[in-house]
Structure 1
Amino acid sequence: MSNRRIYSRRTVLRMLGAVSVISPLALSCRSSEPEGATPRSSPAARPSPTVVPSSGFQLPEYVDRTRLEGELFVFNWGDYIDPDVLSDFERLTGVKVTVDTYDTNEQAIAKLQQGGIAYDIVVPTDYAVQILIGLGLLEPLDRSVVRAIEHLDPNNLNGPYDPGNRYSVPYFWGTSGYAYDTAVLGPDLASWEALFEPAEAARGKIVMHGYYRETIAAALLWLGYPLNETSDEALQRALEVLKAQKPFVLTYTSENNDELLIAGEAVIAHCWTGQAILAKRERPTIRYVIPKEGCAVWQDNLCVVKGAPHRYAAMVFIDYLCWPEIAARNASYVGYASPNRTAREQGLLDPDLVNDPAIYLDDTTWKRLQWFKDLGPDYVKYDRIWTELRAG
């Protein structure tokens, strides 16, 4: 299931509207979304691996081998780490790594709350890190061991969900812009205008996200509001924009946006970075855009679970995943943007992706990105808008 990292991990992530910081109370009253996506198997979906030698690695001097426990339990999204990277860690340290998987952040949070299974590492998305910190379920990082964090891009550090990165280390990240076929719509699209004041050639061929925080956020940004806006006036205007757009919309989905572009059924699709990468690989005329008005950014993170039975090995493992050579190999397998700046600067990452300014961003573009935040009781407003839009 070569796309599981995109469809099972990133798509199911948002199956319960999980694109923002949500409280346990909000989780219990949110409207339900369809269960899981079915991954498709495609040999073209997996990128060609970056060739980085695995031999010759040694543990750095700051790692005390005598403190390493004999095993490590990782709780991760499915197909979200290179198996060879795991094998090399085991050979390097003598620590046996066992990986269990989950489908949503909510599932992971609930399992950690229940206890019973003593996991060492979990890989939550930005908003879920904040929830886990609030629940007291994460261990502070030991910076005397997790030193390779210095290789990460400052733009990926110090997120609002964990200021100072006391509990989390960025793992992979991406954005929610749009991809379109330049052969149909031309080479110069740069604004949400392409979706909300579309060309006639796009009639019936626009794909919008199937998760309402993403779609409503796009309309809010087009109107000049922050993507976490909750005022009645702004949300009503966003609804009007989305209703006016609806005759041009083929479907609202977050599962097969890239496939629709590849097949030519859609000419423009609101999507995540990884979906755009896959679409462009199959159809070279596809281009990914971060609109000039801005878009959402997401980030997954490596965290140590509170009370981890193999705490020292967990810290060493997180440090290991930040080594530039290891980060590059892992990024080649997973297919999303790596936060490892050193790996980029040393030319270890896929040059086609690194040189795409909509995938690996400059500082100016980073300033246009916004993180989703907890809406608290205002979630009900978004539910109402989405219901009215889909029913109309």
Structure 2
Amino acid sequence: MRKLLTGGAIIIAVILVLLGLKTYLVQAQDNQQHSDKVLDFYNWGDYIDPDLLVKFTKETGYQVNYNTFDSNEAMFTKIKQGGTSYDLTVPSDYTVNKMIQANLLEPLDYNRLVGMNNYYPRLLNQTFDPQNRYSIPYFWGTLGILYNKKVISASSVAHWNNLWDSKFKDQILLVDSARDILGMTLVSQAKSMNDQSTADLAAAQGKLTSLMPNVKAIVADELKMYMAQGEANIGITYSGEAAQAMAKNPDLAYQVPSEGSNEWFDNFVIPRNARHKDAAYAFINFMNQPQNAAQNAKYIGYATPNQKAYELLPKSVQNNRQFYPSQVTLDKLEVYQNLGQKWTEKYNDAFLEFKMTKR
């Protein structure tokens, strides 16, 4: 009898173990399914309306893990190293091309995309990604001059060369970007922002160094805050950053110098090592919806490439030529090209040497 009881106990124990194993496997499967309902999103800081992330999760069930970077170079390095997997990120134009060449991006499956007919044709098929095989525009804009119109007239900063006027001593904030600041200097010398001449770059560096007495500081994202607070009278920055500063300080205005500037594009791309590609496509489709793109444009202040979203914006925004430039201005804008490692290093070195002259 004891043997029978012992055998029965063994059978019961085995059943319990099997039941426990089944429960564990079900839980593991549930956890795996839950972990698949994730979007690992790598974006610039303060570059999406957080309410849209909440709305996306509510509508799709995907939880968003949101991480930020402060430069294209930092983002590129992190993606290339591959230690962390991201499903979606937002490089600028020339960096898209750089990532394509480094085989870091997943070609887009247009059968999985919805709403692509909402985009302005002019903003698609750019040279950094012909036929948009790897990227879709997120925002676009310009590089220009943000200024305090109570102190400075529009005509006094109508040209890049005006910045070198001694009356602006210690009044200018520069965005901390080699391509942008050397680019504006090259344009002031009637050169291309994509110039690859050693002599031209040296001349630009020399001229830029002579601007230093007028430079109050070289800063990053905080430039818009400083301008809004009246810490400086002039800031060289991006149109969207200018819009955010102007929203906080009505004394500010923004313009693109008449000789031309940079037209930039920030873009959605899916890294090749993305683990949740369904989530990435779901989010792109979500942001392709005009009402979501319009909400994001109003929050961020940058120009939307989504024509249907543009039509939902207030007329005051649609007609604002500071942020949706006229064709005359557009014709004088340049998109940054991927200069390659050699020339990227030359620009970075020239800019670093310039920054080292700051007193």
TM-score, with normalisation over the residues of structure 1? Answer: 0.72
Does structure 1 retain, via aligned residues, the 8 Å contact 2:148–2:252? yes
1:330-383 CA-to-partner distances (Å, cap 9, x unmatched) read 2223332221111112xx225443322121123332222222233332345434
1:52-105 Cα distance to aligned partner (Å, 9 max, x none): xxxxxxxxxxxxxxxxx9624232224433333233334434x32322313144
Equivalent residue in structure 2 for 1:360, among 284, 308, 324:
324
Provide the C-alpha distance between the structure 2 equivalents of 1:79 and 1:384, rounded to a whole number of angstroms. 29
Q: How far does the alpha carbon of each residue in 1:124-154 deviate from its partner, in whole angstroms, 9 at most, with x for none?
A: 2223322322232322222223231211222
2:140 to 173, 178, 191: 173
CA RMSD of the aligned region, Å?
2.7
Change beyond 3 A, Cα 1:97–1:195:
same
Displacement after TM superposition at 1:236 (Å): 3.1
Q: Describe the shift of the 1:112–1:356 C-alpha distance in structure 2 as closer, same or farther (beyond 3 A).
A: same
Distance in 2 (alpha carbons) for counterparts of 1:79 and 1:138: 24
1:73 touches 1:120 (CA, 8 Å); kept in 2?
yes
Question: What is the CA–CA distance in structure 2 between the aligned matches of 1:282 and 1:87, rounded to whole Å?
Answer: 25
Relative to structure 1, is the Cα distance of residues 110 and 211 closer, same or farther in structure 2, using a 3 angstrom cutoff?
Answer: closer
* Higher alpha-carbon deviation: 351-360 or 102-111: 102-111
**How far apart, in 2, do the equivalents of 1:309 and 1:381 lie?**
36
In structure 2, what residue type is equivalent to 1:169? I
Structure 2 residue runs without a partner (length 5+): 1-34
**Whole-angstrom CA distance in 2 between matches of 1:387 and 1:110:** 19
Counterpart CA distance in 2 for 1:137 and 1:311 is 14
Q: Describe the SS at the equivalent of 1:215.
A: helix
Which structure has the larger Rg? 2
Residues 169 and 248 of structure 1, relative CA distance in 2, 3 Å threshold = same
Q: 1:101 to 1:350 in 2, by over 3 A?
A: farther
Label 1:330 to 1:262 Cα distance change in 2 as closer, same or farther (>3 A). Answer: closer
Question: Helix, strand or coil: the match of 1:183?
Answer: coil
The range that moved more, 235-244 or 163-172, is 235-244
The CA deviation at 1:224 is 0.3
* 2:163 alignment counterpart: 195
Structure 1 residues without counterparts, runs of 5 or longer: 1-68
1:254 is the counterpart of 2:230:
no
Secondary structure in 1 matching 2:41: strand
* Matched AA of 1:370: E
Q: Which residue of 1 aligns with 2:20?
A: none
Map of 1:155 onto structure 2: 122
The answer as to 2:346 corresponding to 1:378 is: no
Distance 1:122 1:268, change over 3 A: closer
% same residue: 33
> How far off its partner does 1:110 sit?
4.0
Letter matched to residue 183 of structure 2: A
Q: 1:86 aligns with which of 53, 63, 68?
A: 53
Shift of 1:114: 4.5
1:24-35 correspondence to structure 2 within 5 Å = none
CA distance in 2, matches of 1:223, 1:156: 28
Alignment of 1:1-392 (within 5 A): 71-77=37-43, 78-93=45-60, 95-103=61-69, 104-115=71-82, 118-188=85-155, 189-196=157-164, 198=165, 200=167, 202-306=168-272, 308-345=274-311, 348-375=312-339, 376-392=341-357
8 A Cα contact 2:105 2:134, kept in partner: yes
C-alpha distance in 2 between matches for 1:319 and 1:76: 17
Cα pair distance change 1:190/1:135, threshold 3 Å: same
Whichever structure has more helix as a proportion of its residues is: 2
TM-score normalised by L of structure 2: 0.78
SS at match of 1:261: helix
How many residue pairs were aligned? Answer: 319
